[in-house]
Amino acid sequence: MTTYGSFPGTRPRRLRTTPAMRRMVAETRLHPADFILPAFVREGVSEPVPIEAMPGVVQHTRDSLKKAAAEAVAAGVSGIMLFGVPEESKKDALGTPGTDPDGILQVALRDVRAEVGDELLVMSDLCLDETVDHGHCGVLDSEGRVDNDATLERYAEMAQVQADAGAHVVGPSGMMDGQIGVVRDALDQIGREDVAILAYTAKYASAFYGPFREAVGSSLKGDRKTYQQDPANARESLRELALDLEEGADMVMVKPAGPYLDILARVADAVDVPVAAYQISGEYSMVEAAAEKGWIDRDRAILETLTGIKRAGARNILTYWATEAAQKLGR
């Protein structure tokens, strides 16, 4: 046999010979505590409503949401991120359901806290898009543009009512300039220094949000390119990161996850706070659709995508497979 350099003495395949060997030398390990479950709760429905574009995901009733939260606890999942879907007739230009103590998100926060207490981190999406009649993440000015500073006033109110309703963590997701500082001040003003902020630090204007629009009953016309980040830009994320940390973010996040693993890795390398990534609706739906057609092995694909996200630097992953993946890992 011809010898090439260190071969045949050095054979990396020795460390791939059996499942036990591969498990022992694995550099990245998934754990149920890595996961956060995004969940939708819809006002005025008596049964969970399937989301056509996201097979297996539903808009919950209040009761089915409590059951989902309990299942997440049993599986070892760390958190649940709640999105409220109000009745269409209640939406308006200011997103009034988002600051109404009896709005669906606030009601759901109280329900879940009553169900699971502190066994699960109860998180709330802090954004106006689900509650406004125009579908944008903020208040519009007279020319139909998103008014950054007027929106911040609404975010401050939302933070306070969400904290009062029981959120352990709020997630400002609208990509308004200054949103983390305003939310932190609003929480501190009511003595809620204990409520943490998960900053949507690098949230890109992605095509992969498509199925989410159905999930939250979005009324959006146009796009969000004036406030969400341009997919072409990377250094911009580090600027957003520095601002969020300066303003008081406790945790930071990259969204979407899969198409932006390079951004995730750069953010994770740059900070000493927990870093999360959101495996969004389009990422989920692509795997489910391909698996339904028999083109890929569904279970392997799920765990492979989650492993890739963690390998890139995410300490926590928001994924619609959170409970299912945690159960698989537990087995």
List the catalytic residues.
Answer: 203, 255
Q: Which amino acid type is present at position 80?
A: I
Q: Which two tokens stand for residue 195?
A: 């409520």
Distinct helix (H) and strand (E) counts, the chain: 11, 10
Cβ within 8 Å of residue 310, ≥6 positions away: 28, 30, 34, 317
Q: How far apart are CA 108 and CA 165, in angstroms?
A: 8
Q: How far apart are CA 21 and CA 24, in angstroms?
A: 5
Helix, strand, or coil (residue 29)? coil
Q: How far apart are CA 238 and CA 159, in angstroms?
A: 25
Q: How far apart are CA 142 and CA 132, in angstroms?
A: 16
Tokens 């009649």 belong to residue: 133
Asked if residue 322 lies in contact with residue 36, where contact means CB atoms within 8 angstroms, the answer is yes
**Residues forming beta bridges with residue 37, ordered by sequence position:** 80
